[in-house]
Amino acid sequence: MDTTLNRAMDYSTVFLRFALGFSFLSAVADRFGLWGAYGQPHVAWGDFARFVAYTGKLNWFVPAMLIPALAWASTVAETLLGFALVVGLFTRIAALLSGMILLLFALAMTIALGIKAPLDFSVFSASAGAFLLAAHGRYPLCVDALTSRASLYRFQKEKP
């Protein structure tokens, strides 16, 4: 494969990491009102109580007493995965787990709201992107590359 194309594919992973990671972190920020109060433009929840209610709506099949724990679990997972993707820490694992959580979210949305909702919000696309990121395996400009001699060696070796 052409070195330029190979390099472009490698560095496109940086954009994909940032897109997925910052999307997770933005959703978490919305749950805690950091983007503004409910009812303001571009604010989905505005507070954690509304997010818990939305979690219950999507997961109608889960006992009501478990919904707050599920909301907290997804919030913690999205915070950790968002941070890991943005800085490139355990990138392959973070991408794989992101793909799985996004796929579960898309399926829950489909069951609760119909197929149009996850398609409109590109949840299946984000899941596919996360799985593609996990499969790529080479991640420049990340903590993983700085902490792994093998990663550094691989990128130095590919330079023309």
Report the pLDDT averaged over residues 89-115. 97
pLDDT at 157: 47
The answer to pTM > 0.75 is: yes
User: What's the CA gap between 81 and 144, in Å, rounded?
Assistant: 14
Angle among Cα 4, 149, 139 to the nearest 5 degrees reads 40
- Domain segments of the chain: what residues? 3-158
Q: If pLDDT is split at 50, 70 and 90, which confidence band does 42 have? A: very high
The pLDDT > 70 percentage for the chain reads: 91
pLDDT at 1: 54
Spell out a b/e string for 128-159, using b for 16 or more CB atoms within 10 Å of the CB, else e.
Answer: ebbbebbebebbbbbebbeeeeebeeebeeee
Residue 142 structure tokens: 């990340």
